[in-house]
Structure 1
Amino acid sequence: MRREVRLAGYGGQGIILIGLLLGKAAALHDGKEAVFTQSYGPEARGGASNADVVIADAPVDYPLVTRPDCLVVMFQEAYERHRPGLVEGGLLVLDQDLVRPDPGEGAFHAIPATRLAEGLGKKIVANVVMLGFFTAVSGLVRREAVEAALRSTLAPRLLELNLRAFATGYDYAPHAREAA
């Protein structure tokens, strides 16, 4: 098994962090091989931001994402830029408040990640809400693996809120309808 995941948004949304967390969860806490790469524009905030993660059962021989099997988008321009590269039948996950898919898009999973994060009191954790949702709908890594990655990565003062954000996204998945 080899899955290519692209997470895309804009600077300041924490896209790089959730890519790092996904890679750590797979490689350090779920017994898989994983490679994480990142790219972003020159702007500190507001420019394009991408995190790519390759997750596999065997050593990763080529570390770059060429045609993602999974695309997570939190920004309209990211959807427009990266959607054409998603493999046919691939998993598309989006923040329904920030991304409007093309008419006739086909199947995708949507969550109001930013709105749910605001309900937790901090819009900044929308990325971790999205990571929870993606973890649930993709099945690529175990919930416990991502929670362990959160614990080993984040400062103690940030942990409780981020664990709640992750759980909020994860628990939203059964209530979300796959749009077609």
Structure 2
Amino acid sequence: MAKQEFLLTGTGGQGLILAAIMLAEAGIYAGQNVVQSQSYGPEARGGASRAEVIIGNEAIRYPKVEKPTLVLTLSQEAYKKYGLNLTEDAILVVDSSQVNEVKPRSKNLYSLPITKTARTRLGSEQSANVVALGVVASFSGQIPMEDVLQAVRQRAPKGTAEQNVKALELGWQLGLKAGAKQDDRHSQNEGDEQCRI
């Protein structure tokens, strides 16, 4: 598995630290080397928070994300702080329910209804972090679903395992559909360019 660097950002209280821990544990179940860390704004709940996960089969020599493969952001504040200065190849996933102003990027920007999906399909926004985890893990393309499921079942707060498994599956499907649409768009654009030549 090539090294992948994930940056999960939002505001304190959205559960992204737990989502990052689940992602890291899924990487361990998949037999990979993993590093996970997090930081909070001074306010903790309601302030900006970020969690980092690095997964790969080689030794991880530096424990912080330097060039993110994927950035997830669940708030406008976090987008402004972490989503603007990314490399062209980095995947940026924003929650369309929470992030309204996004600078257009030529590729690899996905605006997905993460919180809305949790609210409408599960009846509560509480599992939005696990919907987000499903999106991120599906975009990774290198972490098997069964390993993420195992991590979710292991870490879900008591009495919420079933709801969180549903949330994970919803997020996984959301990510797969978005990725497939983007692939179709890239293919069409390449076709258009060939027609122009």
State the TM-score, normalized to the length of structure 2: 0.84
* Deviation >6 Å, runs of 4+: none
Q: Number of aligned pairs?
A: 179
Q: Secondary structure at the match of 1:157?
A: coil
Hey, what's the Cα distance between the residues in 2 that align with 1:39 and 1:103?
25
CA distance in 2, matches of 1:63, 1:6: 12
Q: Distance in 1 between matches of 2:87 and 2:6?
A: 11
How much identity, in percent, do the aligned residues show? Answer: 36
Aligned to 2:70: 70
Does the CA contact (< 8 Å) of 1:41 and 1:47 recur in 2?
A: yes
Alignment of 1:33 with 2:38, yes or no, is no
Q: Which amino acid aligns with 1:157?
A: G
Letter of the 1:122 counterpart: S
The reply on whether 1:161 has 2:163 as its aligned counterpart is yes
> 1:14 deviation in Å?
0.4
Amino acid at match of 2:8: L
Could you say if the C-alpha distance between residues 153 and 103 of structure 1 is closer, same or farther in structure 2, counting changes exceeding 3 Å? closer
Give the stretch that moved more between structures: 71-80 or 98-107.
98-107
In structure 1, how many angstroms separate the alpha carbons of the residues matched to 2:138 and 2:76? 23
Deviates more, 1:105-114 or 1:66-75: 105-114
For CA contacts below 8 A with separation 6 or more, give which structure has more relative contact order. 1
2:195 aligns to what? Answer: none
Matching of residues 6-155 of structure 1 within 5 Å:
6-27=7-28, 29-107=29-107, 108-119=109-120, 120-155=122-157
Taking the aligned partners of 1:106 and 1:138, their CA distance within structure 2 comes to 20
Structure 1 unmatched ranges of 5 or more = none
* Structure-2 separation of matches of 1:43 and 1:171: 34
Is the radius of gyration larger for structure 1 or structure 2? 2
CA pair 101-30 structure 1, distance change in 2 beyond 3 A: farther
